[in-house]
Structure 1
Amino acid sequence: MKKTKMKDGKHAFHPIKKILIMAKYTAFFLFIGLLQVSAGIYSQNAKLSLKMENVTILEVFEQIEKQSEYRFFYDSDLKDLSKRTTIESLDKPLSDILNEMFANTDITYKMMDRVILVQAKYSQLNTSGQQKKSVSGKVTDTMGLPIPGVSIQLKGTVTGTVTNADGKFSFSSIPADGVLVFSFVGMKAQEISVLGKEEISVAMSEETFGLDEVVTIGYGVQKKRDITGSIASINGESIENSSAKDLVSALRGRASGVQVVANSGAPGDGITVTVRGQSSLNSGNAPLYIIDGVPVETSSLSLLNGSESHGLNPLADINPGDIESIEVLKDGASTSIYGSRAANGVIIITTKRGKEGRANIKVNVYTGISKITRKLGVLNASQWRQIIIDSYKNLDAYNNATTPTEPHWTAIDSLNPMNSGDVDWQDVMYRTAQQKQVDFSVAGGTNGVKYAFSTSVLDQDGILLASNYKRITSRLNADFTVTKNLKIGYSFSFARSLNNRINAAGTGNISLVQSILVRPPIYSLTYPDGSPIYYFNGKRNPVGLAEACTHLNTTNRVIGNQYLEYDLLKGLKFRTNISLDFISMKEDEFYPTTVDYRIGYNTGAVRATSNLTWANENYLTYDKVFNKVHNFSALAGFSQQEWKLETTGLDGMYFASDNIRTLNGAGTISNQAVNTTVEHGLASFYGRLSYDYKGTYLLQANLRADGSSRFGDDRRFGYFPSASVAWRFSDEKFLDKPEFLNDGKIRFSVGQTGNEAIGNYTSQGEFALGTNYLTNSGAAPTVMPNAGLSWETTTQYDLGLDLTLLKSRISFTADAYLKKTTDLLFAVPIPETTGFGYITQNIGDIENKGLEFSLVTHNLTGKLGWTSSFNIGLNRNKIISLPEEVLTNGYIQNGTYHILKEGESIGTFYGWKFLGVYSRDEDNINQVKNGSSNGKLFRGGDPIWDDLNGDHIIDANDKQIIGNAQPDFTGGFNNDISYKNFTLNVFFQFSYGNDIYGNINMMRNWVFAYNNVSTDALNRWRKQGDVTNYPRPIRNDPLGNEYNRVSDRWIEDGSYLRLKNVSLSYNVPTGIVRKLNLRGIKAYITAENLVTWTHYTAYDPEVSSYSGLQLGVDDGSYPQSRTFIFGLNVEL
């Protein structure tokens, strides 16, 4: 609703404004009166023709609505509505038709414009047995002025009424626990329970499309319009539409500056989340997660990862259906209240809680199928045999051999039954996987007790054989109003999951994806007697790795939180929380004799891990408004948190039988026994002050002091302050605000946060038992202590702009930030004479800076509704300084594929540059040699490498920067479209500018062994003069690792645009639902990963193998899948 203004754009004085508003409503009342007159004329003159035999009165209503603009409102419990009647009228006034139809019934009616209110002539007996009641009341605006014409509807029915010219209404025959829905154009709809009420007063406010929404911040909530920091919010509806199986996946592309990458496509597997770039080299880059006030464990506790490097996803144990909202705190002012754990951002998850009203019961059931998004091209049997033969011929040519070398018989003997296959192992291993889930929830409450309970069962097969993930979760949230001043409540959740894992990634001999792609197509699936071949001629059968091996992870998790809140004085509250997060995990692993060359040699391992985190928060909040314009709030608190991790494990081998897989059946218990306990604690003090003047000038300051047991006595406490200000320029009287601008605000913040994610005893030193001295065993120090070790500190500056335009139909947010981390915790080499190899010190700096933009538009708001949201984030990461002691040639070798170098970003690839293939021997004009020990010349068909230093020798001195895994920008684009009972959600996710090191492509082009290779090999160099970029296959690689060098030959553009999610739902009409004694039925179909546009040639461009520093390496992770889901949601 539009505010009254003076001509110069300044607000009028309040008395004048009130008179103008009253005049506006008076005009509206006159308009309603005219409508009443016109309605009478319209009703007298409007004529209809009807011919209906033996139909119910309800069916007559439907026919009249089809032929005219009239709409009926009625109580569905009126018994005479089901009476049958016969009507035959030709061009007859509607009033005559209704009078005739209601003549012998207990029904009367009233016409208001095109609305016909149908009601009982007198109170009917309640034959349904359900208690009924009547309520009355008045609807006003926020200034107390009555609003006529407000639609009031009994939720879940078409029964309703409207307010009169005085804003008053009365409503009869309502269920005792019914809920009334109040709606009016331009105003926020409200739902009010009538339980225990006979009179209802409703104050409606203007619709602002989210400005007055409440978002969760650290230790409290705040209106979105009053936020002075940078916070992204994702509501439960968006999470529901995402069809995500875990809450972290639901964040993909939903918030600017938040990069979410699946480590693999395996059910329940790890996910990497980065907020505004990587801020640390050795102390982790994961954000802090808070669920209902509980800081939860998110690092993987899995110890038997096999060839996987990323472990499991602890947050997969949380059912996304329980989530009410997710807030991502990004800037220093928003996160500093969490101090030493917030350098990488904070993600606050709020679960659904009960609301006052009758019990709302929901059942959601779905089933679905998943398939691999695409297969990779590999050679068939005939093509593979030819390339093996060519590799031997090329070896003979290279060695100038006079006697041809014959390939091993297995490569060419197609008559042998062990060797006569023609198998694409992708067809064998990738399946159409099924999944199904059942969710049940009930929520409701009274003035004194509110509750929400849910339980969920998920059974999800992976697209790789034998992989499966099962999960059962239950959650109970309850809130009790004990007295006027005292509230207590709790949240309790339990989850149990069984993950039958697959060792998919890596280059090792148990890596499944590699085995699928490189196993020769000629190898048969079974022996002549039909028994499976799990190992043959040096190659493991991927079927055996999947079905015969065991990788079972069983996890039980309990998250609990109990609070007490007491109103000490008006505006002054005390709250205490006690919370725990307990994870119990057991891992079983077994490799039978059949999958390996070691006859009679089998291995097994067991790990049992328990992790207990408990915390206690105690804080006071104070809220006060002075003179109606000065809004003040304060927070002061103390908390303590402790962690305890216990791990036990044993390894065994030489089991008597592959069918006996418990460790008591092992012939030998290896020396890999594990039994450890580690603990650490955190004590904190924190406070916040907030002030605003009329919502125009806003200020906030935070301070947190954290004391961690991980640091020495002198450095135990770290202090993390922040301050933020905002100016709502749209409220300034001296500004001539244009009509299209509804709200405008500029924000600025600066804040410090920390990172304490180092070893629990690094500052104190560590000892290891079992060290022998002469003939005695003892303990020896293994980690050199550093009592001066301190926090990594991240200082962040943020400048933001918030706009709402065109009657709040458009919302726009922009942020620019600079984020610098100092005192990086780094392992610095020291002289070996100390007895140690390194010491951890605070040294080095990293910088992240970037831009973020979010746009929400309400394109259509009528019968056809359409809302769009778009976000994009640009981040530039740079290493500012590194200690000289750790540099070699100006950089640090970070694993196999990356380096850390000043001026470059984390994720920088380093290797050789591939320039093509020598067409002829004589093309090697400079007589470039291989720098390995053999020092041979490159010939026709060999790779051409960039001789960076021009010495005609290809060696380590020619390595250079060959790519970067950091994207230029990431984001998402969402559309919600509704028409009548249909709702369509379409969501796109994108990433641009990042490189991928396709190690999987290197493995499937390893042409000098008996591996299968990609169909790219069909374009290989075959003879002198051939022009191609695919080198000649040559047996045993006599040049020395020329085909698997770390080079830009395997670097590809990882940019992609993905149609991540499409969901179409249909709400069954209320009339049908009511007949079934239900409150709602929704059927839906969802497609996930429907289409991906990318130039990347391996399975999927969403890659995050290795650690947080070794980004963008595709090591053959479990592929992503395309999923189709069919579901039904029933509300009772």
Structure 2
Amino acid sequence: MKNNFGRFKIIVLISLILLLSVITWKATAVNAPNFLDNQNAQQEVTGVVTGLQGLPIAGVAVFIKGATKGTVTNVNGEFTIRATQGDTLVFTYLGFKPVEVVLEQESTLNIQMEEDVSSLGEVEINAGYYNTTRRESTGNISRVTAEEIELQPVISPLQALQGRMAGVEIIPGGSHPAMAPTIQIRGRNSLREEGNYPLYIIDGVPVNSTPMESNSLLSNTGIDPLNTLNLSNIESIEVLKDADATAIYGSRGANGVVLITTKKGKGGTSGLDLRFYSGTATVPNRIDLLNTEQYLQIRRQAFENDGVEPSPTNAYDLMLWDQERYTDWQDFFFGGISPITDLNVAGSGGNENTSFRLGGSYHKQGTVYPGDFDYQKVTGSFNLNHISENKKLNINLSVNFGVDDNVLAGNVNLETNAFRLPPNAPAVFLENGELNWEEWGEAGLNNPLEGFYNRSDTQSQNLVSGLGVSYHIFRNLSLKGNFGYTSFNSGEVVKRPRRSLNPAYWQNIDHSSSHLEIERKSWIIEPQLVYVKPMGKGNIEGLIGATFQESTYHQMALQGEGYVAESLIGNLTAAEQIINASSENSKYRYAAIFGRLSLDWDKKYFINFTGRRDGSSRFGPDKKWANFGAIGGAWVFSEESPFRNNGFLSFGKLRMSYGTTGSDQIGDYGYLDAYEATPGPGGLYPTQLFNPEYSWEVNKKLEAAIELGFIKNRLNLGLSWYRNRSSNQLVGYVLPSTTGFSSIQANLPATVENKGLEIEISSTNFRSKKFHWQTYFNITLPHNELVSYPGIEQSSYANIYKVGYPLNISLLYQYEGIDPEIGLYQVLDFNEDGRYGYEDRVVTRNFGRKFFGGISNNLSYKNFTLQFLWEFVKQDGTLDFFNAGHLSNQRAATYQALEENSIYQQVSASSQANTAYLRVLSSDFSVVDASFLRLRTLTFGYALPSQLLKRAGIQNGKIFLNGQNLFTLTEYEGMDPELPRGGSRFAGTRTITGGLQLQF
């Protein structure tokens, strides 16, 4: 696997060398002047177009007023055009005020364009099957651009969205690279965890959003399918939230849609972009634990309180281990420095009709844990755009390919041990680097790093390719076709050498390995007809299309045993035997017919109808098809005469939508009978019951919103109220044990509601030729509730959910304080039966977020830029490690247990004390405030002087410094308030990187 990864890097490097050659050749042709007319009186006019900060603007349209042809500026802002004295040259670019210049005798023009704040609403945004603008959109679409995400030193694009979008909640998976984060768009809709994934679409091609399975340390969250994307190659990410935006995707849009658009070449420009950054990551926080003196004092007091005599068996920390030794186990296990390196190269070129972009990247990240572990990623991308001379045929090809390789410890707990090991415990390694078995063996223990030499190597290969073709049949009618193919392969080997285990057992244990191979493939075809027709003051747009998609899944797992040498582990041909082999195959087919009808009148009134009829192979013969649709409307009331030309209110829009989407996020073939082979020959036994009657989940979405702009849109406000109700829940219905089956797939009459308010504010605080300051703020106030669930008391969810409460609840015991007779924690025995079960858990606590959001600022002064984002969350969490006296370290606060009237129970090592502690962990005693305010990103940049760069043949250059998770304000005493359950998990490392960006 390593050899394959190395060969792929060599191929990428060779491709980059060829890329440089192609760009050099293309540049000579692309920069040739465009001629409007071949007249003798014409002269060649050249120049550079810049913004107020002096930076060049690529893609500016330059044409002669009244003529039909023109040119565009290249990546350096340069243009060449032939014109006649007296002609008026027009310069236009989206988001900037147009400039007109009457040509006199000049042959060189330097144009400075001013940003047009009032036109920012006209920036085109991706709505999936069509494009729209902020001003004309009838749906709720959040958007971030390349400038906001490309410099962040993260692996998954989802991590780059944290704090930037209202209604979009992203929680990291954990501390190991490539762990899949959790994304929820406007809350959790399904009772099943696997029923809440949104739809991912990359350049028009849907991608399976379910994390890939793993047997490594990634197994808790799975592997994020977006890991292999190159952040520097992303142009924008749009998130579709309401019914108007998502209903056109039907069943696939129930949990929202994430649209990722990659960068494309620009016609008439050529150039080479190079970006490099390097830095380090560290774990920014520690839990305050007992030191050796405190720990030993508490342990001795525990034996005294219990009336038990310490011995080498029950008190090896007191009798055998060094009483003066102190090890900061947190620093030992995750106190390392993780190096980070990222290199990105991209070249583009072309002319007015054909343009391309070719890019590649390499990313490497080390580990904060002991050991030689790392994560590496290599990506390649290609985009080709072509438009025919008559402008009728348009072709777009997009290919994104990535390989990552993740080497981790083989299922060794590198986190919990950091908090539990006594501070005077022996070293885990000898001076020669081998595991210390002897000192731990004297206490009858295994080394806590048993299995340290196990190694998991997980390599993923991901291909996402799409082809879009459109042809103008008539003036108002176009035929389109979208074609896509994806392939995601994951190969994982976990090697378990014999020396990872206690040598006392080596004689009976062989070298072994476990293997997991997973392959996902999918193709999609979507023919479409698009009709656009101006009608007086109005405009009508129609779309009708179909979807044909097929996805296949293959998984193979097995184990190899009996390798004669450690160097052969993983080579199955060298294994003495192969055991526990299993294979799984499935196929999913999906088809749909969809349509859209959009009407606008006088650019003030907008209405949008969308509909889709979906068919899925995951349902029985009579339940395969379902209908979904939505209606959305918007009224730009600021265009009405009472508001027009208002000096204060510059924009106002009311927006509303209602519709239904659905979900088929269940396993394949769930409606069929299923059988497995018996251990003996020739037999079968049933494993799944036939139920062809269950059908689609349905999510009904309602939204009302207002958007306002003040003082020429220098201040913008958006308020969105939403209510989503998901019903007909697909769950496993519990069956009596007499049936021989634990459950059967079915629909239950449970309804989950998500409602809330989203507030978004953007402002231009200061604007001049030298200084520019913008602020963006968003906050979401969500409410999740299980509205109804008839018969929940008899279901398998009786001890998990509660009608009238959110899905993120825990049912807890009621804490009753310290028992005055025995000095231990006590909780309420609600039914007074002397036992503690779920019927005694009378406290319901919501661990969902009460509100969340972010505030970002962008400042620029001359050549300097500064960007920073604060993320804030209001929530509850839990804490543990307050069992003073037990044979493991505890929080330093538990030292108070030696005092009278302490909130902690009497120090004790008894089983009774441990039982009391385990009960109180499941009570409201452990619930604390886990709210936080975190400086998520901080980026400082400096644009290098153009005069200096041109001497070196460089057009533009920038140096930058980026900080991630630099500072957190919180009262939470756990490791990371982003993962606030228990307090020992963490995800957000503090990362500082610096780099250089050049344009040739």
Label 1:191 to 1:1013 Cα distance change in 2 as closer, same or farther (>3 A).
farther
Matches within 5 A, 1:112-131: none
Q: Deviations over 1:767-806 (max 9, x none)?
A: 222355xxx4422221112111100000000001111111
**What is the CA-CA distance between 1:405 and the residue it aligns to?**
6.4
Residue 948 of structure 2 is aligned to residue 1075 of structure 1: no
Aligned residue in 1 for 2:877: 996
Change (3 A) 1:404 1:908: same
Partner of 2:993: 1125
1:264 and 2:174 equivalent?
yes
- The amino acid of 2:727's aligned partner reads T
Structure 1 match to 2:802: 901
Which residue of structure 1 lines up, in the alignment, with residue 3 of structure 2?
A: none
Structure 2 distance, partners of 1:129, 1:646, is 49
| Structure of larger gyration radius | 1
Aligned partner letter, 1:355: K
SS of structure 1 residue aligned to 2:232: helix
Amino acid of the structure 2 residue aligned with 1:314: P
Matched, 1:807 2:706: no
State the 1:734 CA deviation: 5.0
Q: CA 1:404 to 1:1114, structure 2 compared with 1: closer, same or farther past 3 Å?
A: closer
1:599 to 484, 487, 505: 505
**Cα distance, 1:1016 vs structure 2:** 2.4
TM normalised by structure 1 equals 0.76
* Matched-pair contact (CA < 8 Å) for 2:932–2:969: yes
Could you give the per-residue CA deviations for residues 214-261 of structure 1, whole angstroms, max 9, x where no partner exists?
A: 000121211221000111111111112544332111111111000011
**Retained in 2: the 8 A contact 1:513–1:1116?**
yes
- Structure 1 segments unaligned to the other structure (5+ residues): 1-127, 139-149, 505-509, 922-938, 1104-1111
Deviation at 1:372, TM superposition (A): 0.7
Helix, strand or coil for the counterpart of 1:1043? helix
1:1037 to 893, 911, 934: 911
The Cα of 1:669 is off from its aligned counterpart by 3.8
* Paired residues of 1:704 and 1:720 also in contact (CA < 8 A): yes
The answer on whether the counterparts of 1:917 and 1:1027 sit within 8 Å (CA) in structure 2 is: no
How many Å separate the matches in 2 of 1:716 and 1:247? 34
Name the residue aligned to 2:457: 552
- Measured after TM superposition, the shift of residue 167 of structure 1 is 13
In 2, distance between residues paired with 1:605 and 1:247? 30
Contact 1:340 1:753 in 2 (8 A): yes
Secondary structure of the corresponding residue to residue 683 of structure 2? strand
Matched letter for residue 1131 of structure 1: Q
Aligned equivalent of 1:755: 663
How far the C-alpha of 1:968 sits from its partner, in A, is 1.0
Q: Quickly say closer, same or farther: Cα 1:389–1:673, change in 2 above 3 A.
A: farther
SS at match of 2:138: coil
| Aligned equivalent of 1:615 | 524
CA contact (8 A) 1:420 1:524 kept: no
Match of 2:703 in 1: 798
Give the drift of 1:567: 0.9
Partner residue in 2 for 1:838:
743
- In structure 1, distance between residues paired with 2:883 and 2:355: 63
Which residue of the partner structure matches residue 755 of structure 2? 849
CA distance in 2, matches of 1:185, 1:691: 24
Per-residue deviation, 1:631: 0.7
The equivalent residue for 2:97 is 188
Q: In the alignment, is the contact (CA less than 8 A) between 2:428 and 2:448 conserved in 1? A: no
2:127 to 217, 233, 246: 217
> What is the alpha-carbon distance in structure 1 between the residues aligned to residue 269 and residue 818 of structure 2?
75
Task: Say whether 1:875 aligns with 2:782.
Answer: yes
Alignment match of 1:519 (pick from 417, 421, 429):
421
Contact persistence 2:596–2:609 (CA under 8 A): yes
Change (3 A) 1:634 1:415: closer
1:135/1:357 CA distance change after superposition, 3 Å: closer
- Measured after TM superposition, the shift of residue 409 of structure 1 is 5.8
1:381 to 292, 295, 300: 292
Indicate how the Cα distance of structure 1 residues 1017 and 636 shifts in structure 2: closer, same or farther if over 3 A, else same. Answer: same
Deviations 1:196-225 (A, max 9, x none): xx999x999964252111000121211221
Cα offset for 1:667? 5.2
Deviations 1:669-703 (A, max 9, x none): 44x32211111110011000000001111100000
Which 10-residue stretch deviates more, 908-917 or 869-878?
Answer: 908-917
Alpha-carbon spacing, 1:796–1:1119, altered in 2? closer, same or farther (3 Å): closer
Amino acid at match of 1:333: D
CA distance in structure 1 between the aligned counterparts of 2:115 and 2:337, rounded to whole angstroms: 52
Q: After superposition, what is the alpha-carbon deviation per residue over 1:622-679, rounded to whole angstroms, capped at 9, x for unaligned?
A: 111112x111101100111111111111124455454442245555544x32211111
What SS does the aligned partner of 1:715 have? coil
Residues 977 and 983 in structure 1, CA contact (< 8 A), matched pair in contact too:
yes
Q: Which amino acid is 2:279 matched to?
A: G
Q: What letter matches 2:911 in structure 1?
A: D
Task: Kindly indicate whether residue 494 of structure 2 is the aligned counterpart of residue 585 of structure 1.
Answer: no
* Aligned partner letter, 1:900: Y
Distance verdict in 2 for CA 1:446–1:386, change over 3 Å: same
Contact 1:393 1:405 in 2 (8 A): no
Aligned pair in 2 of structure 1 residues 538, 1098: CA closer, same or farther (>3 Å)?
farther
Structure 1 residues 1002-1040: Cα deviation after superposition (integer angstroms, max 9, x where no partner): xx4455653222222322246xxx111122232242356
* Whole-Å separation in 1 of the counterparts to 2:32 and 2:573: 70
Counterpart of 2:78 (choices 170, 173, 179) is 179
Letter of the structure 1 residue corresponding to residue 427 of structure 2: S
- Select 2:473's aligned residue among 568, 579, 582: 568
Distance 1:740 1:1010, change over 3 A: same
SS in 2 for 1:818: strand
Matches within 5 A, 1:1012-1051: 1012-1021=889-898, 1026-1038=900-912, 1041-1045=915-919, 1046-1051=922-927
Paired with 1:157 and 1:404, the residues of 2 have a C-alpha distance of: 77
Read off the aligned partner of 1:904 and give its amino acid letter.
Y
Post-superposition offset of 1:580? 1.1
User: 1:470-524 CA deviation, whole Å, 9 max, x = no partner?
Assistant: 00001000012245222222111111100113578xxxxx422112221233212
1:287 maps onto 2:198 in alignment = yes
Q: Is the 8 A contact 1:803 1:813 kept in 2?
A: yes
For residues 805-825 of structure 1, the C-alpha deviation after alignment (integer angstroms, 9 at most, x for no partner) is 111111211100110011001
Q: Quick one: which amino acid aligns to residue 1068 of structure 1?
A: L
CA distance 1:158–1:349, shift in 2 (3 Å):
closer
* 1:524 aligned counterpart, secondary structure: coil
CA distance in 2, matches of 1:1130, 1:678: 47
Distance in 2 (CA, whole Å) between partners of 1:310 and 1:676 is 21
Aligned: 1:916 with 2:817: yes
Number of the residue aligned with 1:626: 535
How far did residue 996 of structure 1 move? 1.9
Query: CA 1:778–1:1009 in 2, change beyond 3 Å: closer, same or farther?
Result: farther
C-alpha separation between the residues in 2 aligned to 1:1126 and 1:408? 52
Deviation for aligned residue 1:454: 1.1
In 2, Cα distance between equivalents of 1:1048 and 1:561: 52
Corresponding residue for residue 531 of structure 1: 434
**Separation in 2, partners of 1:871, 1:681:** 39
Contact 2:228 2:377 in 1 (8 A): yes
Aligned to 2:246, what secondary structure does the other structure show? Answer: helix
Q: Structure 2: which 5+ runs fail to align?
A: 1-26, 38-46, 80-89
Give runs of aligned pairs for residues 654-669 of structure 1, distance below 5 A: 655-662=563-570, 663-666=572-575, 669=578
1:544–1:1071 distance in 2 versus 1, CA, 3 Å: farther
**Residue 422 of structure 1 pairs with residue 326 of structure 2:** yes
Task: Quote the Cα distance in structure 2 between the aligned partners of 1:882 and 1:961.
Answer: 20
Residue 973 of structure 1 is matched in structure 2 by 855
The correspondence for 2:149, drawn from 236, 239, 248, is: 239
Q: 5 Å matches for 1:366-445?
A: 366-396=277-307, 408=314, 410-413=316-319, 421-430=325-334, 431-445=336-350
Residue 807 of structure 1: SS of its match in structure 2? coil
Tell me the residue number matched to 2:84.
none
Q: Distance in 2 between matches of 1:340 and 1:912?
A: 39
How far does the alpha carbon of each residue in 1:100-140 deviate from its partner, in whole angstroms, 9 at most, with x for none? xxxxxxxxxxxxxxxxxxxxxxxxxxxx99999889999xx
Letter in 2 for 1:1121: T
Cα pair distance change 1:943/1:207, threshold 3 Å: closer
